[in-house]
Amino acid sequence: MSFLLVIPSIDIKNGKTVRVVQGIPELNCNEYGNDPVEMAKIWRAENTKLIHVVDFDAAAEHSRKNFSTIEKICSSVIIPVEFAGGIRTLEDVKAIMDVGISRLILSTMAIESPKDFISAFEFYGPSKIAISIDIIDKEVVIRGRRLKTGIEYLDFAKKMAQIGVERFIVTDVLRNGVLGGPNLEYTRDVAEITKKKVTHSGGIRNKDELMDVQNLMPLGVDSVIIGRALYENRFPCQKMWRVAESGIFQ
């Protein structure tokens, strides 16, 4: 039997690990320790199989000031590290790939610079590049979740699947970091319409809600990203790191 892969999120701003509410790190921004590298080591010690890193400085300012920290994370743990935030050019793609991440998650670049996105996607392939779909009221938002695009999320998902994208990370921004419960409708719909692998992100508060996500596994929803609920110790961590022996990083 396969189990849902639980992925802890490390959100970085000004070189520190922060809590992010509805995609805005400045809102109720409580720090959970000064060192994201040490946080990655803690999650590794808890036997997680994959870490999700978001660079909010890069998303907001198109800055690379946290890249050295991300490189330290990658070299400090022997598990894959996936990355999201502020990657908008081919030069950005190469720079972040060179620090040692295992998977790059893009959104803004795919919408604003589609030719460059396709070039990067064709070079690195679907195992290295995934698409994030950040949604507010069924509309895709980009640039650090601050800019509405006028694009309906399922239209975007279908277009990316046609290009060859094999994994989507789906977030209802309004549920992110507020511990209000997950919106599984968006996640389920993307899985059903694309027939691809989907990671749910946002809103998970407890074990029962993890089981609700796990019930979507037959549709292709195989993993879930959790941030605030983990940092606030709402789960017994060791009991959550359950994953099938095969297909950990696909």
Please give the positions annotated as active site: 11, 134
Whether 55 contacts 14, CB under 8 Å: no
Q: Is 201 helix (H, G, I), strand (E, B) or coil?
A: strand
Whether the Cβ atoms of residue 84 and residue 54 lie closer than 8 Å to each other: yes
Q: What is the DSSP letter of 219?
A: G
- Torsion over CA of 66, 241, 247 and 82, rounded to 10 degrees? -10
Q: In angstroms, rounded to a whole number, what is the distance separating the alpha carbons of residues 19 and 22?
A: 10
d(CA 58, CA 150): 23
